[in-house]
Structure 1
Amino acid sequence: MIPVALLAALAVQNAVPPFATDMYSPAFPRVAQDLATSSTAVGLTLTAFFVGMGLGQVIGGTSSDQRGRRLPIIVGGAVCTLGGVVCATAPGIEVLMVGRVLQGLGGGAAAVVGRAVLVDVARGNQLARTMSILMAVGALAPMIAPVAGGAVLSVATWRSIFWCLTGFGLFMMAMAAALVPETLPVEDRRGGGLRRFAASFAMLVTRSRFVGYMLTSAFSGFAMFAYISASSFVLQEIKGMSTMQYSVFFACTAGSNMLMAILNSRLVGRFQPRRLIGAGLTISATGITLVTTSVLALGLPLVPLCAGFVLTMAAQGLVFGNASALALTEVRSTAGAASALLGLAQATAMGVSAPLASSGGGSSALPMVAVMLVGIVGAWCAYLLVGRTQPPRSGDMTPRDREK
């Protein structure tokens, strides 16, 4: 069994993206007004975060394969904290984007090393189950974050949100330092710098099953993030929700994700993770169909629109943990680099999704629908294609695996 304290510490590292995006999302209209910029530019601050997160995962994952897990995860928290300070004091949208890159850089490094730690200590269905538990615990963040953001906005400016995120960066750094042990022995570390980094990535992209599950997760995230980035404009500006009403609804959708992740942790072992991914994609497709029908044919009625959002978010509880576990199981010997590439693909998908989906601002929901449709079609294609490839080989083992 993995210690509860370690799971809690890793959940905090993985909570950076939802806190840094969901706590901030209710403030999008205010940021656009205060900094005299467009909704697309505000959407690009999410892209900036995910650009930094992608880079952070590459740097953190590969360096953790070379130098061990503890130092990169602690440094990640420090960089994330610095990014929060830059965002809170930003005089314009450009500096805000720089701060968001720093937040993503540190948060990405911490999150990717956290996943590598799990691969070090868990195996098989236990890894998929633990990933789901981690997602369920981490899903508390997107439940708390938007409500907290709405509460802060009711008494202060959007800058106060980033001061709160600065405090969270300090907390994640302290948790990592106190509770995350070194899980990668010296004999399993891989040196070589940039040459080893390039060789690891070149090897990973040849593993068709790894790539297939990675793209399943990335495209599913592409669809989900259309909701996360555009729903504040659609529900607040088009449908007239207040900031707090939107924040509470957003927390409910995050809660549906948490409940599904908890259910998934119970179902792993009874059902193969791949079958659970298929169920999740079916639920997501149903939700996106509801959203599409509401926007294109029904004139944006609130109930089916919100029901579609809930289903889309809930489905990720069956997709992300299982797809990540199956992908990482394929390449255990380079867990840090594999986790980095997996995170980079997810961050890229979400970073591209945000400005595209939010480009309609408060005037049109069509861009959001288009992005959601592209995401679910891409996820299904990747999922079906990976089913045609050969099952994992037994030769990809670390020295410790060979001893067992």
Structure 2
Amino acid sequence: MPVLTVVLALLSFVGPLSTDMYLPAFPRMAADLGTDASGVQLTLTAFLAGMTLGNLVFGPLSDRYGRRRPLLAGSAVCTVATALCAVAPSLGWLITLRLVTGFTAAAGIVIGRAVVADVADGAAAARLLGLLMSLTGIAPIVAPLLGGTAIEGLGWRSVFWTLGAMTALVAVMVVVGVPESLPRDRRRPRGARQLAGSVKEVLSDRAYIGYSLAFTFAFGALFCYIAGSPFLLQNVLGLGVGTSSVAFSGGAVVATVSSAVSARVVGRVAPERVLASGLRAMAAGTAALLAATVADMLSVAACLALLAVVCAGLGLVVGNAAALAIGRVPTAAGTGSALLGTAQNALGAVVAPLVGLGGSDTALPLFAGMAVCAAVAAGAGAWAPRANARRPRDKGKPPAPAEPSDYSEPVG
């Protein structure tokens, strides 16, 4: 299991690497490609839109054909598409290739969560997802630093050559380290009717919807920050490329540590309580950022401190919200994971260009978007435990040991 855990973490790296590594290049890309802030943010929107579609395709496919074959196909195509981004001759081509990259990168994330549901349950699944989030948190820490170094030395296109090499390595690790986790007797029948049945089964569980909305809008706040951070840190706060990369990585460090703490305490503290604490921190932090911006009191120190509060809350939210949501639908884990990722990335694709509509020299649209997303997430998280969904969490799945030894002491 340790090898599988590492490979699942590497699969989860592809998403944050593909978004965070080229963030420091946004101002230079805009100048080189002859566009503005909102235009270059469309490359991020395309990636997230691709991930949205990919979740809808790869999740149900993995329920029908098993986890391994769709995962191998997605990893291979993602490697090729990422490398082609490095030679894209125009903004239009780059947007198209980012769409393909996002579509295929979704395979690793959605199928990875389904694999967790195959091998763990309940608190064990929450601990494993928390561990994966803490390991995955290394990517947004390292990505902006690597990206900033590559950009200053070799230009923004070098970022995509580096990403291509990294995704190729992950594809090799999938071949070596991910066995089939879904036995044939637990696979879903083929056909549109069966797929519609799986979707209906998942969406009929109101608690699943509540936890999914909490997960989705928490990530919505993050995507607002991802899209707006290069202009916030460089244009509004006046930091250089290297310093802004370090500042962005600092927030990722906080989220990673928070995820590791969550993985440690789940089992002794109910996942619902940890989730609620994280959602409250996100709501308070984003509201304070918006208030400081409106009052024209947003200093560098205050901004970074409040962003740290938001990132700490996010680390407590993501693993627990995902585990609680997918745990509601264990007999359709692939579809449940797919819908979770679809909503997450669809919202990200919408908010990414919106935070740039006010121009590149203001933080007001960014923090307004983050505050709204965090407030919706908090409301959904508070409603979910009271949703009275009828389906028991372990229906259709053999009971798992209460304390599986493989995950009882997560690293972090």
TM-score greater than 0.5 by the shorter chain: yes
**1:127 maps to which residue?**
125
| Alignment RMSD | 1.7
Partner of 1:85: 83
Which of 259, 262, 283 is the matching residue for 1:261?
A: 259
Distance 1:342 1:328 in 2: 8
Question: Which residue does the alignment assign to 2:157?
Answer: 159
Q: Is the 8 A contact 1:58 1:344 kept in 2?
A: yes
Map residues 299-378 of structure 1 onto 2, 5 A cutoff.
299-378=297-376
Q: Residue 69 of structure 1 contacts residue 117 of structure 1 at CA under 8 Å; is this kept in 2?
A: yes
- Residues in 2 aligned to 1:270 and 1:306: alpha-carbon distance in whole angstroms: 31
The 5 Å alignment of 1:289-300 reads 289-300=287-298
Which residue of structure 2 lines up, in the alignment, with residue 72 of structure 1? 70
- Point out where structure 2 has 5 or more consecutive residues left out of the alignment: 403-412
Given candidates 37, 44, 47, the residue that maps to 1:46 is: 44
Q: Tell me the secondary structure at the aligned position of residue 216 of structure 1.
A: helix
Shift of the 46–61 alpha-carbon distance from structure 1 to 2, 3 Å rule, reads same
Residue range with higher mean Cα deviation, 244-253 or 390-399: 390-399
* Cα distance in 2 for residues equivalent to 1:389 and 1:47: 32
Structure 1: unaligned runs, 5 residues or longer: none
1:392 CA drift (Å): 5.8
Task: Output the CA distance in 2 between the equivalents of 1:266 and 1:299.
Answer: 37
The CA deviation at 1:172 is: 1.3
Match in the other structure for 2:169: 171
Tell me if structure 2 keeps the 8 A contact 1:82–1:102: no
Structure 2 residue 21 is the aligned partner of structure 1 residue 26: no
Equivalenced residue count is: 402
Q: Does 1:398 align with 2:396?
A: yes
Could you give the per-residue CA deviations for residues 166-221 of structure 1, whole angstroms, max 9, x where no partner exists?
11111111111100010111111112232222221122111100011000010111
1:38-59 superposed Cα distances (whole Å, 9 cap, x missing partner): 1111111111101111111111
TM-score (normalizing by structure 2): 0.94
> In the alignment, which residue of structure 1 is the partner of 2:273?
275
Give the C-alpha shift of residue 300 in structure 1: 2.5
- Tell me the distance in 2 between the aligned counterparts of 1:399 and 1:261: 27
1: CA distance, partners of 2:359 / 2:305:
21
Aligned partners of 1:194 and 1:156: how far apart in 2?
48
Aligned twin of 2:114: 116
The alignment-based identity, stated in percent, is: 38
Query: Which residue is equivalent to 2:203?
Result: 205
Partner AA of 2:97 in structure 1: G
**Secondary structure in structure 1 of the residue aligned to 2:296:** coil
1:389 is aligned, of 387, 390, 406, to 387
In 2, Cα distance between equivalents of 1:72 and 1:223? 30
CA contact (8 A) 1:80 1:169 kept: yes
Mark the CA change 1:373 to 1:399 in structure 2 (over 3 Å): closer, same or farther: closer
Structure-1 residue corresponding to 2:243: 245
Does the 8 Å CA contact 1:188/1:399 hold for their aligned counterparts? no
Q: How far off its partner does 1:130 sit?
A: 0.5
Match of 2:362, SS state, is coil
Amino acid at match of 1:298: D
Q: Assess if the C-alpha contact under 8 Å between 1:216 and 1:323 holds in 2.
A: yes
Distance 1:379 1:137, change over 3 A: same
The answer for the alignment partner of 1:285 in structure 2 is 283
Residue 181 of structure 1 aligns with an amino acid whose one-letter code is P
